[in-house]
Structure 1
Amino acid sequence: MPALDRFSTQAADYARYRIDYPPALYHWLLPQVRARERAWDCATGNGQVAAVLAETFVRVDATDLSEKQLAQAAPRPNLHYQTATAEHTPFPSQHFDLITVAQAVHWFAHEAYHREVRRVARPGGVIAEWGYSLPQVRPEIDWIVRQFHDDTMGPYWDANRGHIADEYARIPFPFAAVQRERFAVRREWSAHWFLQYLRTWSSVARYQEQHGADAVALIAGPLTELWSTGERAVLFPVFARAAG
């Protein structure tokens, strides 16, 4: 299966409008890791996870297939970015104490990726994968977003997107001592910010490429009217799994 790059065209907006992850997730994950020498953040995007790991590990390597995404990443002295696919990396064998993948494993060739994980992980190393589901605001708004996601954008999603809906249940995780946990990301967003987040969806980018039009404009009016002025609480459910 060829590597899929669905976010280069909206890399700057992705860096600005996508969520980061709660401290509780790292408080759950990091105690599982025995050593803190080297970490690899795979499909790092704009480096938000890698930057957090750089606060703890001596060295962090972060890879992505999108040079435009990496161009948005913040530099750190001990954080090293490079382009590479998840399935084929330049790293030596038995190299990493922790390997992370945030909101991206559904894009991979899973068997090849997990084979690469086994190769580059040190004995006792930890692999962690997580993602997040559709945001929750209030029932009337959630219904509009769900209809937009499932129906309007349905033909423009890659089949891989279905793995988010079932929280990676169909993606094998062939490692021992698996732990699973759930978290929540809460933000206070205006209607404008929320609509900009929707514009980072890969399906919206594909719609734009095919039709030369902004799909989000189709729901901007009714969503903004329901949102009203000011900010509303937006909740993103996060699902995670780790093994070592």
Structure 2
Amino acid sequence: VEPLQLCVDVGCGSGQNTNMYTNYFQQVIGVDVSQEQVQLATKSCTHHNVIFKHGLAEHLPVEDESVELLTCCASVHWFNMETFYKEVERVLKPGGVFACYCYFGCDPIYNGKSYLSTYDELGRELYKYFTENHKYLFTEYTSLPAFSSEVQVISSRENKFSIETDVTLETILKEFSSWSSFIKLRKIEGEEAASRFLSKVKQKMLEAMGIQDEGVKITRRFNYFLIMWRKPLA
């Protein structure tokens, strides 16, 4: 099967998502607002058909009606929707696909048992520190403005789109500390409150799993959700 022509990944970060499409398109372009991320992505990329560009989602460095697939992995909820959607309309070919996907937290698994309920209970304590942008995550992107009438949705609960890696509980604690809501908690409540929260997460997870060593190996599963639209042919 001949590769399609062009895929554009918006909000590409370090390029992990962008590089997945290299076997399916003649050219893949990753776009990010951070010059530092673009430089990192370019430096680490080993594919000949990938280009990373510094640019805004609301002003894409792409020609009109040139894109067959436009992707946003864990990024669309940060954009100005009205302006960005106009750009998607401009750059997509008729029949092109606009796909947005993300995960919201992770599912920690130990000895074959999921501890998602414990993880979610702890994560909910940070909800009050989320920004208005995060409302789209709570609905798994189904509350995003409709781009077209032809739409397909995959929920995280369907487990059709997941990635598993072996990590430690310490890794999951570090992930909590990278959440924008946790950073906001630390800024508003102070370092002591932030440290107390991380200690609570550690203690609750250890108790739930019945272990004492935070260095023990556990499985971290990201269950992604996806929504995608097709641009009308005419």
Q: Distance in 2 between matches of 1:57 and 1:124?
A: 16
Contact 1:195 1:216 in 2 (8 A): no
The one-character-per-residue Cα deviations of 1:52-98 (angstroms, maximum 9, x if unpaired) are: 11232111111011122223323232111111111112211011111
Query: SS at the partner of 1:134?
Result: coil
Counterpart of 2:93 (choices 122, 125, 141) is 122
Q: Distance in 1 between matches of 2:189 and 2:49?
A: 43
Pair 1:169–1:35, CA change in 2 (3 A): same
* Structure (1 or 2) with the larger CA radius of gyration: 2
Q: TM-score of the superposition, structure 1-length normalised?
A: 0.75
Mind listing any 5+ residue stretches in structure 1 that lack a counterpart? 1-30
Moved over 4 A (4+): 207-212
Q: Distance in 1 between matches of 2:38 and 2:192?
A: 25
Kindly indicate whether residue 82 of structure 2 is the aligned counterpart of residue 96 of structure 1. Answer: no
Query: SS at the partner of 1:205?
Result: helix
Higher relative strand content = 2
Mind listing any 5+ residue stretches in structure 2 that lack a counterpart? 109-114, 156-160
Match in the other structure for 1:41: 9
Pair 1:214–1:204, CA change in 2 (3 A): farther
Output aligned runs, 1:25-174, within 5 Å. 36-73=4-41, 74-75=44-45, 76-137=47-108, 138=115, 139-147=117-125, 149-150=126-127, 154-155=128-129, 157-174=130-147
Deviates more, 1:47-56 or 1:180-189: 180-189
Q: Over aligned residues, Cα RMSD in angstroms?
A: 2.4
Match in the other structure for 2:151: 178
Q: Distance in 1 between matches of 2:100 and 2:26?
A: 21
Query: SS at the partner of 2:4?
Result: coil
Q: TM-score of the superposition, structure 2-length normalised?
A: 0.78
Q: How far did 1:176 drift?
A: 3.4
Output aligned runs, 1:225-240, within 5 Å. 225=203, 226-227=205-206, 228=211, 229=213, 230-240=216-226
Query: SS at the partner of 1:173?
Result: coil
Identity across matched positions, percent: 24
The one-character-per-residue Cα deviations of 1:112-152 (angstroms, maximum 9, x if unpaired) are: 111111111112211111111232331334322322x22xx
